[in-house]
Amino acid sequence: MVEPFESKALLVETLVSQGQPELALAELSSMLAASPQDCRLLGAKARALNNLGRLDEAEAVFRQIIAIDPENIEGLAGLGHVAAAKGDLAAAEHWWQRALQHEPDHVRSLKGLARLMAGSRRPEEACRCLTRVSELEPEDTDNWLNLAELLQFLDRFREAVSACKKAAALEPGRAEVHETLGRLLYSLGDVEDAEQAYAAALRNDPDSQEAASGRALCLDVMGRRDAGLQLLDPYLVAENHLPCVDYAAGRLLSGAGRYEEALACLKKTVSSTDRNWRLNPRPWYALGSVLEKLGEYGEAFDAWSEANRLKPALFREEEFEERVRAIIHWYTKERIASWSGVGADSGVIRPLFIVGMPRSGTTLVEQILDCHPRVHAGGERLVLENMAARLWNQNRRVGTEDPVEAGALRKKWEQSVEELSGQAVYYTDNFPGNFMHLGLARIFLPEMSVIWCRRNAADTALSIFANDFNRHIVPWANSLEHIALVWKAHEKLMQHWLASLGIPVVQVRYESLVENPEDQVRGLLQGLSLAWEPACLRFHENRRFANTASFDQVRRPLYTSSVGRHRRYGRKLEPFLSALSL
């Protein structure tokens, strides 16, 4: 039988948790008069006051609790929550840390610290807190979603997807979970899975404009633009529809050549009263592309400039240049020639790295090669990039001569490779930034081949500046001066590899490829010792879709309209050209 006091204590705690703090305070008045030192009752009172926004009174009661019991977790954690609500983040962290000293697995304190650290640009620490919460309370859907958002920010996309899938398994009928999953999968390039996640969100909430917009963008990349536009139609005609609908419609209408309609949608997006969308760089990039199609080159460049202004990225010039110097110094011709290679499996998997500056034709070349039965397209992969980053972060290392470590790197690369299809022997990685890491790859992939895609410097710079790159992966893309710095480093490194790598490097000029495709494709295949394959000239019929900035271009036959594109912009590119000549 429940004692009367225990019954009343449970009642007030229930009232507080169910959002009835006034009733809880009324019940507590007489109870505390009888037991003024009862920390459990005082905790309920403090929480009720906190929920009513009476923060000073709540703080006073929490302090009363720790005066009675200095190690009382309720009091310590409560003071953290009150301090955070008042904006005193240092005090909040102090109280939560004190609570965790006494009870390391106190969930409320872990969650509070996670919110504080995430808002203070300490995402790694926040992630550790939420990871522990997920272990303690694995059925907390909101925690899995919050963890997924943090992991995405840290570019740990696969882990973010895993966290989000756990949330979806817990609450399969919750549209928000599927929307988040769709967004994460789209960021990873898993467009078909992203489309299915958005479709699941719409089944749970047919009115979700965010899910409809996300699914429409997926359908566009998948080559089903008409279906995407049809999906958006009922949302577009709805009064007061969200900016995400206008943005998605603008993107799809532009791809369909309906530029005036696209312009109207995108102008609505960038002038939205929703601050999150008004300050979102994505619609500005899309707006610039539409204005260019309409011949408004000055306005187009201004839109791209605004997009890049809204997407600041921390590019450490000095560290980048130090890293380039270290690579060239370490990877000498003599050192590379001395390597015997680590576990090369002859003829099983032939890594083929397609490198160059972004927007230099790497996706186009991969799409052409994917039409050959002996080639399997792997897309833009960050395996080498992540390996190199880990080495650099370990005392500025750029390579290894330890055969055990090299063997581990090879195993990691092999584990990342998809199963080859049919007769394929080449497996491509077309992440352009691998031009930095060819020496590292040469250590443990001695059987590798390389294609170097090259394009006019000014055309390349303009195309980079006009596209929405991941600022964590390409942090230099939003500044013409930074693009020039990386361009020069790219040329310097590639000339170094040509002289020292010890393997042939097939070079492809974008301008030559689009002007004389058959001769260039024949030369490309010959450089890889591949037989002629006519299907390579019909790459635009390839059902594979590429989730890069070039996804739309590779669906069309080759065209030359992008050659000399920079001439339309006159002095707008002067910062790049000036920096390039320094």
Residue pLDDT, tens place only, 385-419: 989 988 998 888 999 989 999 999 998 888 888 66
pLDDT at 79 over 80: yes
pLDDT (0 to 100) of residue 420: 65
- pLDDT-derived band at 6 (thresholds 50, 70, 90) equals confident
Q: Which residue has the higher pLDDT, 484 or 51?
A: 484
pLDDT (0 to 100) of residue 3: 58
Residue range 512-525: mean pLDDT, rounded:
94
pLDDT at 545 over 60: no
* Structural contact between residues 473 and 418, judged by C-beta atoms closer than 8 angstroms: no
In residues, how long is the chain? 582
pLDDT at 555 over 60: no
pLDDT at 551 over 60: no
What rounded mean pLDDT belongs to the chain? Answer: 90
Residue pLDDT, tens place only, 203-246: 999 999 999 999 999 999 998 999 999 999 999 999 889 999 99
Find, among 102, 114, 122, the residue nearest to 142 by Cα: 114
C-alpha 525, offset from chain centre:
34
- pLDDT-derived band at 557 (thresholds 50, 70, 90) equals low
- pLDDT-derived band at 342 (thresholds 50, 70, 90) equals low
Count other C-beta atoms under 10 Å from residue 397's C-beta: 15
Q: Give the percent of the chain with pLDDT over 90.
A: 68
* Structural contact between residues 451 and 364, judged by C-beta atoms closer than 8 angstroms: no
pLDDT (0 to 100) of residue 152: 81
Q: Give the percent of the chain with pLDDT over 70.
A: 93
> 106: burial class by Cβ within 10 Å (0-12, 13-18, 19+)?
buried
C-alpha 227, offset from chain centre:
26
* Structural contact between residues 554 and 363, judged by C-beta atoms closer than 8 angstroms: yes
Residue whose tokens read 């958005």: 198
Backbone dihedral region for residue 343 (phi beyond 0: left; psi -120 to 50: alpha; all else: beta)? left
- pLDDT-derived band at 558 (thresholds 50, 70, 90) equals low
- pLDDT-derived band at 346 (thresholds 50, 70, 90) equals very low
> 345: burial class by Cβ within 10 Å (0-12, 13-18, 19+)?
exposed
Give every CB contact of residue 491 below 8 A, 6+ residues apart in sequence.
none
Residue 286 DSSP SS3: helix
Residue pLDDT, tens place only, 420-477: 666 888 999 999 999 999 999 999 999 999 999 999 999 999 999 999 988 878 999 9
pLDDT at 4 over 80: no
Residue 111 DSSP SS3: helix
